[in-house]
Structure 1
Amino acid sequence: MSMAPQLVDTAPHASNSPTQAVPVTTAAGIEAWHVESQVVPLIALAFTFEGGAAQDPEGKAGVAQMLARLLDEGAGDLVSDAFQERLAARAIELSFHAGADALGGSLKMLVKHADEAIDLLALALAKPRLDPDAIERVRAQTLAGLRYQQNDPGVMASRRFFAEAFAGHPYARPSSGTPESIAAITRDDLVAMHAKIIGRGGVKVAAVGAIDTARLAEALDRAFGRLNLAAPLTAIPQTQVGHLGQRHVVDIDVPQSVLRFGMGGVPWRDPDFIPAYVLNHILGGGSFTSRLFQEVREKRGLAYSVGTSLVSHRASAMTWGYTATKNERVGEALAVIGDEIGRLIAQGPSDEELQKAKDYLTGSYALGFDTSTKIAHQLAQIAFEGLGMDYIARRNDLVANVTQADIRRAGARTFADGKMLVVAAGRPTDF
């Protein structure tokens, strides 16, 4: 992976709000969102290709993630060391990552090195070498990480949760793979995954920084316009969180159990997502102000941290949560969590509670756009979700207009009857 020195990206964007993004369509048909800012001589690029770990072949979980780790391990005529030296010499930051539904990346460079940075990105995308020594190095690193994770209660609880929640579905497979699946991955698997995901037709791009539209269009054609069209993706069936009401233990000899719990959810593209998001903030997403934080930590001292979040995948959505507590207090912690969910189902939040949540969520939103890199990643994600270029401008109004009726509707879809799938990694004595 990239070892380039860090570029400091602290440019303020008060005068160049992300709401001023403009669409760019290049001669090769690449579509991007562009925010021009001349405050500092930096350019940040974020891009997302459709298709991720859910596309891994059966029995070979980890292919997409291995591919992401190998894209900058040599490309074209440049072996891995030479490629990394070119990045480092120009302080170019290039990285790739793979999630369940997408393979994405980011590029950050000084304006004066933009041409070379774009050329290196184009090479990494179109002509990754996938040399045997690089594959074996990444394989060994991955296997070492998996061995380490076997003693990490948080990782093991999360893995078991997804395996139970989505049993028989691609989302049940760990994106980083298993020792057996990683050992089975061949170069041909990586080449096939590259052909399936890395193509000019399914990429979403956002660019922020000191570059005008004409130069950006030319750069994007060099980076993405010469890619082949990607091969067809495997269709991923829609699914829901299963095994609600069940509890499972991953036996690890530790004095404290790590808990993962979850239930239904609402995808980001759904009109009820914003009400569900506000409701989640009230339940467990609001850090120090959430009901779970107050009841589980502040009032009872059961855990150091506790929270919930919304997970939105292409083929499923869920509300899931986390905490950790002493083995002998697991049952008590879960009872408190269940009680708070039950109270929200039966009574909903108070008007004051709802207003405070909306005030915080609207007031804090701009904090996610204080650097070029953050803006680029937010825009690329919004484009990937198909929410429209005006989403950032509309988002705070959507939050502010959430009503108690919206909250009840979203609660019925996410909490249902309050049953959760729960996984504890540890040795709980009161489960």
Structure 2
Amino acid sequence: MSARNTLIALAAGAVMTLAALPAQAVTIQRVVSPGGIAGWLVQDASSPLVAMNFSFHGGSSQDAADKAGAASLASNMLDEGAGDFDSKAFHEKLENNAIEMSFSVSRDYFYGGLRVLNEHRDEALDLMRLALTAPRFDADALTRVRSQVMSGLRRDTTSPNSLASLRWWETAFPNHPYGRSTKGTLETVPQIGADDLHAYVKRVFARNELIIGIVGDIDAKGAGAMIDKVFGALPAKNDLVPVPATQPQGLGRRIVINVDVPQAVVTFGGAGIARGDPDFMAAYIVNHILGGGTFSSRLYKEVREKRGLAYGVSDHLVWFRRAAVVVGGTATRADRTGDAITVIEKEIKRMAEEGPTAEELAKAKSYLKGSYALSLDTSAKIAAQLVQIQTDNLGIDYIDKRAGMIDAVTVADAKRAAKRIYGGGLLVTVAGRPVGVTSSGEPAAEPAAAPRQQAN
């Protein structure tokens, strides 16, 4: 069996072991490395794997307007060669040692992940250290990866899903980093060179706002050594451009983007709620009841089950460091688009005015408590949760406290939260040929344009 197949087989076994554990069985240790870098550890000797997730403050919001996409391009390039290893040699080392390495960006954060068998851990840590501290950004690799990004951006210009979502974010956050594409645009990506990628890494990759989560067959001493090996050589402090606080704009507007496709895609949303707000948990439960993605949500029942207007419909809370929104979407036949929008707006208005029922609240609480274990059923998922809990400043005991926080939400709390997140109006964007649906507050229909931002 190859090293990679062994990793897959052992990971599958680890899934079965972790899935049997309740969320409360996850014991988190705070570890401080000899070099003074803190991280969280869940020690699990059931499988000889180690998973590490981490994040740096500073995602696509650090891109200059004319170099939008730089952070995303850097994330695509970090495993394309580092130190003495060009792209081919770097990938061969990953493959030969069954090392899974990944990078991604959001508007506020740059994320990394590593999963490896313990027997290849030292090799994996060396490669991750090189990727973070000595990326090459070679011209041939950059040309190839940039070409792939450009192909995706060209596809977005005719994708109704992309067009509706891109226009929503751009309209909600005009002239703000949150309104720009994390992937960049057809105009900006060709302007990004290796110097820009090196500059981004130099400003963002630092120890002062580094968040780390480690899960696997490793003790606190080993985790501390692991942390220093990967991150110890990074600069002490980042050099970030401040991002101003903002609120979504365009509420009450409807924007139609003409694109010749059989279905119309609808993106809708409005102001959300900060993760640290006292009403957040109530809002989270209310959002689940309205359109949280399950078959029991009000939007799913009204739009899909009762009227057959769409295959699916949902909405979710999105929180950034400097803004928060609630955003959702659906796709429907062109001649039924108006009906779908009417039903969605009606249900959102009803939720804002009446809130959920006591029965809905009880069912939602039960589901949200029981389903949380699914986010803790693999080492990689737990590592990601460790990073997210730290990012949201929820405390090392959050997993243990979460069920009690959900239970504490009253009907009055839920009604108050419902009014806050659904009572401020919606921004709606539609991409397609929707019959009888026109833009409000601007020309009746807008031509499809090259996408300028990406859905969260």
User: Structure 1 length normalisation: TM-score?
Assistant: 0.97
Counterpart position of 1:403: 410
Alpha-carbon deviation of 1:268?
Answer: 1.8
Alpha-carbon deviation of 1:334?
Answer: 0.9
What is the alpha-carbon distance in structure 2 between the residues aligned to residue 329 and residue 384 of structure 1? 41
| AA of the residue aligned to 2:295 | F
What is the alpha-carbon distance in structure 1 between the residues aligned to residue 389 and residue 22 of structure 2? 21
| AA of the residue aligned to 1:93 | E
Identity of aligned residues (%): 45
| AA of the residue aligned to 2:435 | T
Q: Is the 8 A contact 2:23 2:376 kept in 1?
A: no
Structure 1 unaligned residues grouped into runs of 5+: none
User: Is 1:424 aligned with 2:424?
Assistant: no
Aligned pair partner of 1:370 in 355, 370, 377: 377
Q: Is the 8 A contact 1:7 1:93 kept in 2?
A: no
| AA of the residue aligned to 1:306 | V
What is the alpha-carbon distance in structure 2 between the residues aligned to residue 127 and residue 338 of structure 1? 51
Counterpart position of 1:111: 118
Q: Is the 8 A contact 2:24 2:400 kept in 1?
A: no
Deviation per CA, 1:11-52: give whole Å up to 9, x if none: 123289564100001111111000000101100000011100
User: Is 1:84 aligned with 2:91?
Assistant: yes
Q: Is the 8 A contact 1:297 1:303 kept in 2?
A: yes
| Superposition RMSD in Å | 1.5
Counterpart position of 1:311: 318
| AA of the residue aligned to 1:241 | P
Aligned pair partner of 2:339 in 332, 350, 356: 332
Larger deviation: 399-408 or 371-380?
Answer: 399-408
What is the alpha-carbon distance in structure 2 between the residues aligned to residue 315 and residue 263 of structure 1? 15
Aligned pair partner of 2:283 in 276, 279, 290: 276
User: Structure 2 length normalisation: TM-score?
Assistant: 0.91
Could you say if the C-alpha distance between residues 336 and 7 of structure 1 is closer, same or farther in structure 2, counting changes exceeding 3 Å?
same
Alpha-carbon deviation of 1:231?
Answer: 3.4
Could you say if the C-alpha distance between residues 223 and 160 of structure 1 is closer, same or farther in structure 2, counting changes exceeding 3 Å?
same
Q: Is the 8 A contact 2:28 2:396 kept in 1?
A: yes
What is the alpha-carbon distance in structure 1 between the residues aligned to residue 224 and residue 165 of structure 2? 41
Deviation per CA, 1:82-125: give whole Å up to 9, x if none: 01100100100001111100001100000111111111111111
Alpha-carbon deviation of 1:215?
Answer: 1.1
SS in 2 for 1:429: coil
Alpha-carbon deviation of 1:152?
Answer: 1.3
SS in 2 for 1:167: coil
| AA of the residue aligned to 2:327 | W
Alpha-carbon deviation of 1:60?
Answer: 1.0
What is the alpha-carbon distance in structure 1 between the residues aligned to residue 405 and residue 75 of structure 2? 35
Between Structure 1 and Structure 2, how many residues are aligned?
428
Could you say if the C-alpha distance between residues 236 and 225 of structure 1 is closer, same or farther in structure 2, counting changes exceeding 3 Å?
same
Counterpart position of 2:367: 360
| AA of the residue aligned to 2:221 | A
Alpha-carbon deviation of 1:348?
Answer: 1.5
Q: Is the 8 A contact 1:327 1:430 kept in 2?
A: no
Q: Is the 8 A contact 1:153 1:425 kept in 2?
A: yes
Counterpart position of 1:243: 250
What is the alpha-carbon distance in structure 2 between the residues aligned to residue 405 and residue 429 of structure 1? 40
Deviation per CA, 1:241-284: give whole Å up to 9, x if none: 11101011121101210000001111222221111100001100
1:34-73 correspondence runs (5 A): 34-73=41-80
Q: Is the 8 A contact 2:354 2:415 kept in 1?
A: no
| AA of the residue aligned to 1:429 | V
Alpha-carbon deviation of 1:328?
Answer: 1.4
Could you say if the C-alpha distance between residues 59 and 108 of structure 1 is closer, same or farther in structure 2, counting changes exceeding 3 Å?
same
What is the alpha-carbon distance in structure 1 between the residues aligned to residue 189 and residue 64 of structure 2? 12
Larger deviation: 97-106 or 15-24?
Answer: 15-24
SS in 1 for 2:187: helix
What is the alpha-carbon distance in structure 1 between the residues aligned to residue 186 and residue 117 of structure 2? 40
Q: Is the 8 A contact 2:51 2:216 kept in 1?
A: yes
Q: Is the 8 A contact 2:23 2:400 kept in 1?
A: no
What is the alpha-carbon distance in structure 2 between the residues aligned to residue 337 and residue 208 of structure 1? 41
Structure 2 unaligned residues grouped into runs of 5+: 438-456
What is the alpha-carbon distance in structure 1 between the residues aligned to residue 292 and residue 337 of structure 2? 21
Counterpart position of 1:258: 265
What is the alpha-carbon distance in structure 2 between the residues aligned to residue 194 and residue 229 of structure 1? 13
Aligned pair partner of 2:354 in 347, 351, 356: 347
| AA of the residue aligned to 1:422 | V
What is the alpha-carbon distance in structure 2 between the residues aligned to residue 398 and residue 264 of structure 1? 23
User: Is 1:200 aligned with 2:199?
Assistant: no
SS in 2 for 1:330: helix
Q: Structure 1 stretches (4+) deviating beyond 4 angstroms?
A: 15-18
| AA of the residue aligned to 1:409 | R
SS in 2 for 1:228: coil
Q: Is the 8 A contact 2:283 2:414 kept in 1?
A: yes
SS in 1 for 2:67: coil
Counterpart position of 1:120: 127
What is the alpha-carbon distance in structure 1 between the residues aligned to residue 418 and residue 295 of structure 2? 21
SS in 1 for 2:188: helix
Deviation per CA, 1:374-426: give whole Å up to 9, x if none: 00001111112221111111111111111112112212221124x21000010
| AA of the residue aligned to 1:7 | I
| AA of the residue aligned to 2:430 | A
| AA of the residue aligned to 2:112 | G
What is the alpha-carbon distance in structure 1 between the residues aligned to residue 365 and residue 48 of structure 2? 36
Q: Is the 8 A contact 2:352 2:420 kept in 1?
A: no
Q: Is the 8 A contact 2:24 2:399 kept in 1?
A: no
Aligned pair partner of 2:394 in 374, 387, 398: 387
Q: Is the 8 A contact 1:18 1:369 kept in 2?
A: no
